[in-house]
Amino acid sequence: MEYRVLGNTGLKVSVLGYGASSLGAVFREINEEDALQSVRVSLDMGINFIDVSPFYGLTRAEVMLGRALAGVPRGNYVMATKVGRYGASEFDFSAGRVTASVDESLARMKVDYVDLIQCHDIEFGNLDQIVEETIPALRKVCAAGKARFVGVTGFPLAALKYVTDRVQVDSILSYCHYSLNNTRLEGFIPAFKASGVGVISASPLSMGLLSNRGAPPWHPASPDIREACIRAAEHCRSKGADIAKLAVQMSLSNPDIACTVVGSASSANMRENIAWCSGKPDPELLAEVREILKPVHNKIWPSGRAENN
């Protein structure tokens, strides 16, 4: 496993991170034992970055992580959780709520601190509140020793930039913006780097679009994106290849992205994802798949408040 430094934090994170939303059964009902195993296998195989949120499975993912990590020395992994999102349309970025939220997450995960505390899906909130109230409250949480660094996450890249242009933030987590069908994140990296902001990219499989199982029903992609991704997956199968492998390898290829966070509650999937990290994407297959996805390349969907998109 390769490790990269996250912005100015000094944290050395594995290039592939473990995304725990699957532990909250957001994609399908899960086998709890295998889900716990997927975390342990990931750590044993070199992953040290874990991303979660109270929102995933409405606290279930954090509780599951508390069980999976019992007995693992705290210094062995970099833990990132979030504040502000508590349901599909339940958000509260007020200083009081986010401060209490950190204590609740620590209790669920049975840890004394997290390495990174992130505002979850900021585009659903008032960005000026994030700048003026939420981030300063999270700095106080850091001063109290309950977190080390502060980040923001969300879908519209402009919203992430709006905040990092106005207040010092240690990292951003962007998702579905650096993979086979979308590379928009690339255009924003110079600005994030210039502000000393570490870059984390999530969802290399575009939340299931770039897999043989396909996207879950709630996936926000429009039918043309879904259909193009299905065609691309079929093309890979016809060549004896797995589109998930190509997607993971392509997503890891940008050295300015410190960590790419993939999610799976299946230990077999995580073994596969980690094994794929050591290889480069097949250039011929990559070119063919890019051609299939060309009509929908960089096509996105709205997320959150209209003014934040």
Indicate the pairing of strand 49-51 with strand 16-19: parallel
Q: Tell me which residues in 80-139 interact with ligand NAD (CB under 6 A).
A: 120-121
Interface stretch with ligand NAD, choices 7-15, 21-29, 159-167, 288-296 (CB under 6 A):
21-29
Interface stretch with ligand NAD, choices 97-105, 126-134, 162-170, 257-265 (CB under 6 A):
257-265
By C-beta, is 144 or 163 nearer to ligand NAD? Answer: 163
CA distance 126 to 122: 8
By C-beta, is 6 or 261 nearer to ligand NAD? Answer: 261
Residue 175 is a binding residue for ligand NAD (CB under 6 A): yes
Residue 246's nearest CA partner among 272, 266, 226, 267 is: 272
Question: Site for ligand NAD (CB under 6 A): which residue of 48, 164, 249, 264?
Answer: 264
Question: Site for ligand NAD (CB under 6 A): which residue of 9, 14, 21, 249?
Answer: 21
Residue 252 is a binding residue for ligand NAD (CB under 6 A): no
Say which amino acid occupies 185.
L
Say which amino acid occupies 9.
T
CB of 191 to ligand NAD, least distance (A): 19
Beta carbons of 277 and 44 less than 8 angstroms apart: no
Residue 171 is a binding residue for ligand NAD (CB under 6 A): no
Say which amino acid occupies 251.
S
C-alpha dihedral over 113, 133, 185, 217, to 10 degrees?
80
* 278 phi-psi bin (left φ>0, alpha ψ -120 to 50, beta other): alpha
By C-beta, is 144 or 220 nearer to ligand NAD? Answer: 220
Residues labelled catalytic: 56
Strand, coil or helix: what is 172?
strand
Residue 177's nearest CA partner among 274, 294, 260 is: 260
Question: Site for ligand NAD (CB under 6 A): which residue of 198, 204, 281, 304?
Answer: 204
Beta carbons of 18 and 42 less than 8 angstroms apart: yes
Question: Site for ligand NAD (CB under 6 A): which residue of 16, 157, 205, 233?
Answer: 205
Question: Site for ligand NAD (CB under 6 A): which residue of 7, 19, 57, 304?
Answer: 19
Residue 77 is a binding residue for ligand NAD (CB under 6 A): no
